[in-house]
């Protein structure tokens, strides 16, 4: 009897599983997979705007020889190396801090932190562009007050990329903070009770209970941050157009340029696929490293 119940549940699960993922998956096949496959084919069959038939890896080779490719890769890596840890740890600390506040203060803080994300990347880039103005921008004004020399920020090859990074790190991180707070809410209070009874302080509690139990959320934030920072585009486009020189050219900026300025569809899609492969590889490694089914 028991065995049969198990089996029918198993079948039921399978059927339900497929049914439940069907809406997303069908739309996915139509609107994402199909264009994607087409794009992959483009990287192997197009040169410029023409379908010339199979050209093998010619486009990929062209990409690696392109003078603008490796600087774009370097910039993207540097950018991500700073922004991703920032996007993981800053909101985590903020979330932990906010949770000790009174509920009203919590609501207020969450709202304040999320607010910057409510305006589009385009507008934020414009606002920060003003902040970085070398003559009378807010930033030079502030650092002038503590005696630092005014910098050129976006106009100097030495500080341009740093300016973009700073903008990303000083963002509100509202969405990730809220995510962490919501997930922390799912941790049973009893665990905290036990920890308090055993005399653990705040840091120990966080390190041994909160952090491990939040792994799936952290993993999510990690992967989304990597995807986001590896694909950074809007600030590079709005604020500096990849410049000065190639100082802020990122991989996606280069792809965009190749598509809409040079009409080099073959190399653009090749670049996009290279990028995707890199992100996938890194994410797989993260998943291996991090993902364990969290059980109580």
Partner 1 sequence: MKKWLSCLFVVILFVGLLAGCGKKEKQSLGSKKDVITFWIAENFEGEGKLWESIVEKYNQDNPDVEVELSIKPWDKTPMNVALQSKRPPDVAFDWFSPPTDAYEDLKVDLLEYITPEEKDDFGPQVIARMLSPKGKMNKWPWYLYRAEWMLANGDLLKQVGANPELIQEQGWNWDEFLSTCQKLAKVGVYGYGDAQSPNTVNILLNGLVGPSISDKDPYEFNWIGAETAGILQRYRNLIFKEKVMPKEVLGIDIFGLHEKFSRKEFGIIRSYTAWVPNLEKEGNISKVYILPYQDQGGLEFIPYLGVGGWAVFKQNPSPGEEHLKNVVKFVKYISQPIDGEFIPMHWGGLPPGGNLRQKYIQGIKNVDPNLKFTLKVMETGKIARALPTAATKINEIVNTYISEAMSGQITAQRAVEKWTAEVSRLLK
Partner 2 sequence: MQNKLSNIFKKVPAYILVGIWIVIALTPLLWMVSSSFKGEASLMATPPKLLPDPFSLENYQKLFEKPVLLWVFNSVFVATIVTIEVVAVSSLAGYAFAKLRFPGRNLLFWLLIMTMMIPGQVTLAPLYELIMRLGFLDSFKALIFPPIAAVWGTFLLKQFIQTLPTELIDSGRVDGASELQIFSRIILPVAKPGLAVLGIFTFVAHWNDFMWPLVVLKDQSRYTIQLGLSAFRFQYTTAYGPMMAGATLAALPMVIIFLLLQRYFMEGLTVGAIKG
Restricting to residues 94-133, name those near partner 2 by CB under 8 A.
Answer: 94, 97-98, 100-101, 105, 107, 109-124, 126-128, 130-131
Figure out which of the listed residues 106, 156, 224, 283 binds partner 1, where binding follows CB under 8 A.
156
Least Å distance between CB 18 and partner 2?
A: 6
| Residue 54 touches which of partner 1, partner 2, none (Cβ within 5-8 Å per kind) | none
Residues numbered 242-261 forming contacts with partner 2, rule: CB under 8 A: 252, 255-256, 259
State yes or no: residue 149 binds partner 1 (CB under 8 A).
no
Q: Does 260 bind partner 1 (CB under 8 A)?
A: yes
User: Which one of residues 7, 27, 48, 289 is an interface residue with partner 2 (CB under 8 A)?
Assistant: 27
Q: Which member of 154, 167, 252, 273 binds partner 1 (CB under 8 A)?
A: 154
Instruction: Give Dmax over CA atoms of the chain in angstroms.
Output: 81
CB of 112 to partner 2, least distance (A): 5
155 binds partner 2 (CB under 8 A): no
- Rule CB under 8 A: which residues touch partner 1? 48-49, 67-68, 129, 132-135, 150, 152-158, 243-247, 259-263, 265
């Amino acid at each position: 009897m028991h065995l049969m119940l198990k089996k029918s549940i198993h079948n039921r699960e399978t059927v339900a599983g497929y049914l439940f993922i069907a809406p997303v998956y069908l739309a996915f096949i139509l609107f994402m997979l199909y264009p994607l496959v087409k794009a992959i084919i483009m990287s192997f069959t197009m040169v410029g705007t023409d379908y010339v038939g199979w050209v093998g890896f010619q486009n990929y080779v062209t990409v690696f020889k392109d003078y603008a490719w490796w600087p774009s890769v370097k910039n993207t890596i540097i950018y991500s190396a700073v922004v991703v840890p920032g996007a993981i740890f800053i909101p985590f600390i903020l979330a932990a801090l906010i949770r000790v506040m009174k509920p009203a203060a919590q609501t207020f803080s969450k709202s304040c932190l999320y607010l910057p994300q409510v305006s589009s990347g385009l507008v934020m880039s414009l606002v920060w562009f003003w902040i970085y103005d070398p003559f009378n921008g807010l930033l030079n004004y502030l650092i002038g007050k503590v005696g630092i020399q005014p910098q050129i920020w976006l106009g100097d090859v030495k500080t341009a990329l740093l300016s973009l990074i700073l903008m990303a790190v000083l963002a509100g991180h509202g969405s990730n903070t809220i995510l962490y707070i919501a997930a922390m809410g799912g941790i049973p209070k009893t665990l905290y009770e036990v920890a308090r009874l055993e005399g653990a302080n705040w840091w120990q509690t966080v390190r041994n209970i909160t952090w491990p139990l939040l792994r799936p959320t952290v993993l999510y934030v990690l992967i989304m941050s990597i995807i986001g920072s590896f694909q950074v585009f809007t600030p590079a486009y709005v604020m500096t157009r990849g410049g000065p020189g190639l100082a802020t050219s990122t991989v996606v900026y280069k792809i965009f340029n190749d598509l809409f300025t040079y009409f080099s569809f073959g190399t653009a899609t090749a670049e996009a696929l290279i990028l995707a492969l890199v992100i996938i590889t890194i994410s797989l490694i993260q998943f291996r490293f991090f993902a364990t089914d969290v059980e109580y």
